[in-house]
Amino acid sequence: MLNIYLKSKIHMGTVTKKKLFYDGSIEIDEELMEKVGISEGEMVLVVNLNNAERFITYVIKGKRGSREINLNGAAARLAEEGDRVIIMAFTINETPVKAKTIILNEQNEIVQEK
């Protein structure tokens, strides 16, 4: 039987910019994406810790090393710059998988990897 499992999590990311009039998506620093195994175009669930909003969008690769997490399009209305977010990607599998997780500080620097 197939189940849906968490495969990747960016925990405590900080929203750095919002672009309302842009194709809808979340733009994430390419280095952060690689650390947890999130691909460009992949669907993610985003949880805003400041206001409890939850939304699904897709990922756009951001500039490597920029430490930016930007919300674009309609998603930009669901958070403010400086809000802390959790970004999660899932996989469909027959057996559980061990999720790759990174925890970030307020500057979106990695402080812990799991």
The pLDDT of residue 1 is above 90: yes
Domain residues for the domain of 10 are 3-113
* C-alpha closest to that of 40 among 21, 19, 63: 63
Q: Which residues are catalytic?
A: 25, 58
- The percentage of residues in the chain with a pLDDT greater than 90, rounded to a whole number, is 97
Whether 3 shows a pLDDT value over 90: the answer reads: yes
* The 43-48 sheet, strands edge to edge: 17-19, 69-72, 25-29, 54-62, 43-48, 84-93, 3-14, 100-104, 110-113
Residues 27-54 have pLDDT tens digits of 999 999 999 999 999 999 999 999 999 9
Q: Indicate which CATH number applies to the domain containing 72.
A: 2.40.40.20
Q: Is the pLDDT of residue 22 over 90?
A: no
Total Cβ atoms within 10 A of residue 54: 11
pLDDT of the residue at 86: 98
24: pLDDT strictly greater than 80: no
Total domains, the chain: 1
